Structure 1
Amino acid sequence: MSTRGGGASSDDGILSRVSTSVSQSPIVYRGKKAAFDTAYVAKKLLKSTGKAAWIAGTTFLVLVVPLIIEMDREQQLNELELQQASLLGASK
C-alpha cells in the first residue's frame, strides 16, 4: 500500500512539473501576450467606434432630420398649390 501512495505522489510531482514547465514556456507567454494585446485593441476600437456612432447620430438628428421635415412640408405645400390651381382653373 505504501508503494501505491508513493507512486501516486511521484506521478503528481511529474504532472505538476510538466504543467509548470508548459505554463512557463515562451510559446504560452507569447500566446497570452497576443491575446491580451488583441483584447486591448478590440476594447479601444469598440470605444472609439461607439464615440463615432454617437457623434454621427447626434449630427444626423441636429442637421438632417430638420432638413427632411422642411422638405416634406415644402412638398405638401406644392401639392396643395397644384390642387388649388387645378380647382381654380377648372371653375373658370
Structure 2
Amino acid sequence: MTPDNHHKDPTLLSIGSMFETGRIKKMYTLAELYPTKIARSLGINYGRYMAKLSHPDKFTIGEIVRLANLLNIEPDMITKVIYSEMK
C-alpha cells in the first residue's frame, strides 16, 4: 500500500482493484460488495445508493469523485463503466 492509503479500508481498496482490472463491468456489481458501508461513506442512504446502482446515470459528479476516493482509484474508471452501461 502507498502511504496515502494506509488508513483506507482494505475491503474498499479491493473493490478499487476490481475496477482497475476490469472486473467491474456494471455498477450494479457493487450491490453485492459492502453496499451499506459504501452508501454510508458516500453520505447517501442505502435505498438511494441501490437505486443509483440500477440507474448509474443518476450518480452525481460529486458522488463519483467521493466513490473514487473511497476506492483509491481515478474517477474516470467509474465514469467509463457508467458510460459503457449507457451505450
TM-score band (shorter)? under 0.3
Greater CA radius of gyration, 1 or 2?
1
- Scaled by the length of structure 2, the TM-score of the pair is 0.18
**TM-score between both structures, scaled by the size of structure 1:** 0.17
Higher RCO, Cα 8 Å, sep 6+:
2
